[in-house]
Amino acid sequence: MNAPLAPDLPDEAAASRWEWESLNGSISEELRRHVAEIVAREAGRLTTLFYDTLLEDPEAAAMLSHELVSHRLNHSLRRWLKDLFPLEAAPDFAAAARLQRQVGEVHARIRVPLHLVTRGARVLKGGIARCLSQTSLPRDELVETLSYASHILDLAMEMMATAFIEGTERATRNEEAYRLFSLGQDASLEREAQRAALLEWLQSLLFAVAGRNEATRLHSIGRSEFGLWMQHRASVMFGGIPALQRITQLMREIDEEILPGIEQGCEIGPALQRLQAHANDIKFLIGDAFQAVVGLENGRDALTRTLNRRFMPSIFAREIAMATQSGRGFAALMIDFDHFKAINDTFGHSGGDVVLSRGAELIMDAVRLSDFVFRYGGEEFLVLLVEADANLAMRTAERIRATIDAAEFVVGEQRNLRVTTSIGVAVFEGHPDYTYLVERADKALYAAKKAGRNRVILG
């Protein structure tokens, strides 16, 4: 553990190095060499076993079957085994760690699912264990070699997995940035440009149909500028929206059913009608899709301007880390508007909306710039008070309750509607999982409701 680490290895490698070195130090050189000889002798057969087993799995087969991959992998798998179990001397930690990191990074880049990699490792591990148990080693030495080989493979997999996860996090971060970047582009401009591209395709198609002869090949919508944009660009923007699948299906029907029919010259009239209907549907669905993403993808709740609860895990994790380090706590307030259903029933949803948006404003005014206000559910808000103890949290909660209790809401004709809130307070007690804190605040809120509403309870 005292030896300096290679500069390109992360800190956690210190513990791995220690484990690696004590593992390699604890086995006799004779037994270590025995394992290495068996692995070297069987490397070819182990590689074949690896392939034969993984190719039975369709998901793995799809990844491994590419010729370039199998050629390179076959070679590098043998080398990988021989490097982990070298004949000459105990394997060098820094070299082994570097190799595992490289492999893990490639796996992350080409998105090999981790379970395929660990499955492959189990195949190799099982194969090596079988070879070892078929030798004439006595019981104790067999146990020792088995545990040594399995431990080496486990350590290698751990280093690979660590690099894999880092690479995956980096890739995920870039993907999310790209998705949000695509959304942040000027959506209305983009919508018009794409509508125009669709119309252009339709127009050139109609000209081709009007002047067609037998040799005319109609341009597919899938390969048009519009179609390419839909597949290669819009899928990021609209990812997960049902309209996207529907558009893809309509385009496929145009290309695979309608256009071939027109080319063959049969029933042109109905085919053109169907084409027009499909094109209109696509135009409509695109408008819809643009509308949907604009509404969905704000960091703030559109009605109340409070934070999207999607950010809760990140923000709580940061505050937990800071609180654990600094020893200064923080608190969560769970705020619920009392009898909200009655407000909705009496004044309609727009009345309820007024109460929520004005209420959220009052909450945000009652806390500091550095605190966080989330829309937690329908009429529930969650406030994270940074650097707060029970005292400050209770005072803030009471201020929020009193402010809302005293405020007059203007809902339609009624200019002085009064509403109240119940608030549950919970102070961070050190548990690293933020959901415990939120649960405690929620229970305290429930207690405040049960005790008659319009009150604050510390959980």
Element (H, E) at 456: strand 456-458
Name which position in 265, 287, 313, 378 contacts a copy of itself (CB under 8 A): 313
| Strands ordered across the beta sheet of 372-375 | 372-375, 380-385, 331-337, 421-427, 456-458
Name which position in 322, 402, 407, 447 contacts a copy of itself (CB under 8 A): 322
Q: Which is nearer to a copy of itself, 35 or 386 (CB)?
A: 386
Sign of CA dihedral 244, 248, 253, 259: positive
Q: Where are the alpha helices (DSSP H) in 9-66?
A: 13-26, 29-54, 58-64
Length of the chain in residues, anyone?
459
How many chain residues touch a copy of itself (CB under 8 A)?
A: 88
Q: Which of residues 337-356 bind a copy of itself (CB under 8 A)?
A: none
Report the distance separating Cα 215 and Cα 137, nearest Å.
78
Q: Which of residues 424-443 bind a copy of itself (CB under 8 A)?
A: 429-436
DSSP, residue by residue, 401-415? HHHHHH--EEETTEE
Could you give the string, one character per residue 172-191, with x where binding to a copy of itself holds by CB under 8 A and - elsewhere?
A: xxxxxxx-xx--x-------
Q: What is the DSSP letter of 89?
A: S
Q: Which of residues 107-146 bind a copy of itself (CB under 8 A)?
A: 109-111, 113-115, 118-119, 122, 125-126, 129, 133, 138-140, 142-143, 146
Q: Residue 19 CB, nearest distance to a copy of itself (Å)?
A: 7
Q: Which is nearer to a copy of itself, 71 or 450 (CB)?
A: 71
Name which position in 229, 357, 392, 399 contacts a copy of itself (CB under 8 A): 229
Q: At 134, is the secondary structure helix, strand, or coil?
A: coil
Phi and psi, residue 14, nearest 5°? -60, -45
Q: Which is nearer to a copy of itself, 26 or 276 (CB)?
A: 26
Q: Which is nearer to a copy of itself, 3 or 180 (CB)?
A: 180
Give the interface segment with a copy of itself, choosing from 85-93, 233-241, 281-289, 442-450 (CB under 8 A): 233-241
Could you give the string, one character per residue 252-291, with x where binding to a copy of itself holds by CB under 8 A and - elsewhere?
A: ----------------------------------------
Name which position in 317, 390, 410, 451 contacts a copy of itself (CB under 8 A): 317
Q: Residue 48 CB, nearest distance to a copy of itself (Å)?
A: 19
Residue at 133: amino acid letter: S
Q: Residue 10 CB, nearest distance to a copy of itself (Å)?
A: 10
Q: Which of residues 72-91 bind a copy of itself (CB under 8 A)?
A: none
Q: What is the DSSP letter of 454?
A: S
Q: Residue 302 CB, nearest distance to a copy of itself (Å)?
A: 14
Q: Residue 360 CB, nearest distance to a copy of itself (Å)?
A: 17
Q: Which is nearer to a copy of itself, 225 or 288 (CB)?
A: 225
Q: Which of residues 369-388 bind a copy of itself (CB under 8 A)?
A: 369-370, 386-387
Report the distance separating Cα 343 and Cα 353, nearest Å.
10
Report the distance separating Cα 315 and Cα 446, nearest Å.
24
- CA 407 to chain CA mean position, Å: 41
Tokens 């695109």 belong to 286
Q: Which of residues 30-59 bind a copy of itself (CB under 8 A)?
A: 57, 59
Name which position in 311, 345, 348, 350 contacts a copy of itself (CB under 8 A): 311
Could you give the string, one character per residue 145-174, with x where binding to a copy of itself holds by CB under 8 A and - elsewhere?
A: -xx--xx--xx-xx--xx--x--xx-xxxx
Does 217 participate in binding a copy of itself (rule CB under 8 A)? no
Name which position in 206, 228, 302, 390 contacts a copy of itself (CB under 8 A): 228
Q: Which of residues 386-405 bind a copy of itself (CB under 8 A)?
A: 386-387
Q: What is the DSSP letter of 152?
A: H
| Exposure on the CB side of residue 20, measured as CA atoms within 13 A | 25
Does 362 participate in binding a copy of itself (rule CB under 8 A)? no
Phi and psi, residue 336, nearest 5°? -130, 135
Does 232 participate in binding a copy of itself (rule CB under 8 A)? yes
Report the distance separating Cα 442 and Cα 422, nearest Å.
11
Report the distance separating Cα 375 and Cα 254, nearest Å.
44
Q: Which two tokens stand for residue 182?
A: 């695509």
Q: Residue 87 CB, nearest distance to a copy of itself (Å)?
A: 25
Residue at 187: amino acid letter: A
Nearest to 365 by CA among 406, 397, 400: 400
Q: Which is nearer to a copy of itself, 178 or 207 (CB)?
A: 178
Nearest to 125 by CA among 72, 84, 88: 84
- 326 burial via Cβ count (<10 Å: 0-12, 13-18, 19+): exposed
Q: Residue 265 CB, nearest distance to a copy of itself (Å)?
A: 28
Q: Residue 85 CB, nearest distance to a copy of itself (Å)?
A: 18
Does 223 participate in binding a copy of itself (rule CB under 8 A)? yes
Phi and psi, residue 3, nearest 5°? -60, 140
Q: Residue 355 CB, nearest distance to a copy of itself (Å)?
A: 26
